[in-house]
Amino acid sequence: MATQSPFSLLEGILQNFTPPWKPPAWVLDETHRRTVLLLNHVVMQEPQAMERLVRQKGQVILAQWRDFTFKLVITPAGLFDLATTDVPADLTLEVTEASPFAIAQTLMKGEKPAVKIAGDVQLAADVNWLADHLRWDIEEDLARFLGDVPAHGLVQATQTILAALRQFVARRSDGGAGGNTA
């Protein structure tokens, strides 16, 4: 007898849920600014990434998911900055999956979510290279504040939790196969 996962009900509710309010403009602006700082921190740790971005200076990237938009311009230094809303995008990346749960499942499997791409082909290739090759070394950053041993322990614990979540997602997407084994 097949049973329905309780997550499917929650997923259906969240997929069709639109919050009755929008966050204030300053909250969105500050979130965008913090995201740019994080992106630049990661990019600066990989010189080849900055070299690729220098070749694309002045290009504007628009990322979209549902009603959320994020527009970046590539600086002459090979980093990102927020682009003004009136500047047209050279590349548009639109996440086509509406469900946040489906996106999370895709990411937990180590895959990229489905994206509709429109615009400059070379810029799209460079952005794809960044997505494939850039990784945030969070353990190194945490070690600056916590020390090496606590940072390593925290990262190991997080990796264990993520591995368990990946295993759960894999079982759920396989239709519940691979239940308890004794």
Tens of pLDDT, residue by residue over 23-56, are: 888 888 899 999 999 899 999 988 999 999 999 9
Number of folded domains that form the chain: 2
Inside any domain, residue 164: yes
Inside any domain, residue 150: yes
Give the containing element (helix H, strand E) for 30.
helix 25-44
Measured in residues, the chain has a length of 182
Tens of pLDDT, residue by residue over 62-90, are: 999 888 889 999 999 999 999 998 999 99
Tell me which residue range forms the domain holding 142: 138-182
CB 25 within 8 A of CB 85: no
Q: 161 in helix, strand or coil?
A: helix
Q: Are 77 and 148 part of one and the same domain?
A: no
